[in-house]
Chain A
């Protein structure tokens, strides 16, 4: 069953089109992450779903009900904000109960719901404190609690972890996932952090310039990006792109000056055609040393800069005068200026049409 349906949603601020005829279906109990660079419209979309922004055109359905012009409070949603947005003059308890009081929920039930939410989030000892007396992590828990007590079907998260330091972010990430497994309600989560997206999501919607580029599970997003933008956006450092051309003949190959890659095992979406193309391979799919021998494609690169990162080492090199990055084991040792043998399997590559930048 669909939890949320978005039909041809458009939003313009004056001349600027922020959302362009966007369609999106979200299943019941699904964890959907809206991922994109800043300004791609992901937060705008979330605000539209919440009812905090008036849409220009299109419809939003939640649980089958058209809520396009409903007030936020009537949509059956709870929302968690980046800056926590806790009411500073109220205690934690006051923050949790404010929405329920506005809904005229009976006192006994308010107390009961707060107790339950506080237990789930382990914030019972904090109930009488003011937000200013809480740490960043505690505040974010309270903010989640405020959504929790509303007893709603849909949770909206607007970059909830961006204001926290790296360690706390990792902890709360797991906690949000645990919460989702426990509550099994629909969650829409906006972030620009691909690690958050890949770790949390059932499905990820990658957005650019107000429209969804790809909507798929994290595995597919990573392995089968639909276009060059998605391929480049996911992964750190980004995918290596080499411009050249596909030659079909006795063997299908990708060629450019000094490079010829046999595409024998690459899974083309349709039958391969000759023409200009872009070949993409992720840095972490490149191997060195003894493993090179087993790879279908082998070549030599010249090392320029080595960045040891502890568990891995990132190497910036030149492949036939093209910038080429690869990521190898942290124990590997390279010297700038040296020549290194590398190899990879074209099966793991992504190839895009040069003009449309769509995966072929």
Chain B
């Protein structure tokens, strides 16, 4: 008599539980993908087609006119120069903010992980606590502060604010990472006569590429997506892309051009989306590292 395995065979693709699981996952995926789809098809239709048709139907006549208009000539209430102004403003805010905030936070994290001094943990605790304080609580004093420094309404102010509010999460990220590196490496560096900066630049930083990538992703998406700080601190002529987008779409003047609005929305979302799709696991790691380990 042949010996046959008994019971249901595990891992078969078509058992009801698995169908249910895949069903739920696919339905959820459709819900998540729908807005992206609607954005894209709307941005490629002409206005007559939008008025007559249905938001889910693909464009009958594909046009990139709305994209050009959104980028070049869309009106933000006062000016009609399109989103490109906001794009370059965002780039100007983004690059120094990302670099400075990461430089400051990585040094913080390193000092906290390896060079604890009396009170360093207290400052760290306040810093983490501070990350939960609503920005609104600190806005007005910061306006006064930046005004006193003579930088309110300029790029410097936004950069400073991004550096300040990026500090808690980034410091936590770097501190945890540096603390997870073998302490003996740090000790070996000290025996070898390297100082605070020597150990940081020659031993720690070269070992920490992954966490720098995570930090860059976190900061690029965070700063690009910022609205509040841009609108308050940057000054009208430096408004970042998100602010201009909102002004274009929600300006009450003229006829609403939904296709242009959607094109503008995609353009504004493009940078973080690109980062997101390119970085894949690093993005997940970034948000999880900040949250779960904390």
Contact = CB atoms under 8 A, between A and B. Distances in A.
A–B touch (CB < 8 A): the answer is yes
Interface of A: 47, 50-52, 71-73, 77-79, 81-89, 98-99, 102-103, 146, 158
B207 A78 contact: no
Interface in B202-252: 202-203, 206-207
A78 B198 contact: no
29 contacts: A50-B191, A51-B190, A52-B187, A52-B190, A52-B191, A71-B190, A71-B193, A72-B187, A72-B190, A72-B193, A73-B192, A78-B191, A79-B188, A82-B184, A84-B184, A85-B182, A85-B184, A85-B185, A85-B188, A86-B188, A87-B202, A98-B192, A98-B202, A99-B191, A99-B192, A99-B193, A102-B192, A102-B193, A103-B193
Given A98-B192, A99-B191, A87 B203 contact: yes
Contacts, number: 58
A85 B183 CA distance: 8
Contact of B187 (A71, A85, A87, A89): A85
* Chain B interface, >50% SS class: helix
A31 B68 CA distance: 79
B47 interface: no
B151 interface: no
Contacts of B193: 71-73, 99, 102-103
Contacts of B194: 98, 102
A88 B188 CA distance: 12
**Interface size range of chain B in the complex:** 10 to 19
A228 to B, nearest CB: 34
Nearest to B188: A85
Given A47-B187, A79-B191, A87-B202, 7 more contacts: A82-B184, A85-B184, A87-B185, A89-B207, A102-B194, A146-B188, A158-B184
Contacts of A77: 191
A77 B193 CA distance: 11
B207 A81 contact: no
Contact of A83 (B182, B190, B192, B198): B182
A265 B184 CA distance: 51
A103 B198 CA distance: 12
What 5 pairs between A and B have smallest CB-CB spacing?
Answer: A99-B192, A73-B193, A85-B184, A102-B193, A89-B206
Interface in B169-193: 182, 184-185, 187-193
B59 to A, nearest CB: 52
Contacts of B184: 81-85, 158
Given A73-B193, A88-B207, A102-B193, A79 B187 contact: yes
B187 A81 contact: yes
A30 B191 CA distance: 21
B190 A73 contact: yes
B207 A72 contact: no
Contacts of A79: 187-188, 191
B114 to A, nearest CB: 11
A51 B188 CA distance: 11
Contacts of B191: 50, 52, 72-73, 77-79, 99
A155 B180 CA distance: 27
Contacts of B192: 73, 98-99, 102, 146
Contacts of A99: 191-193
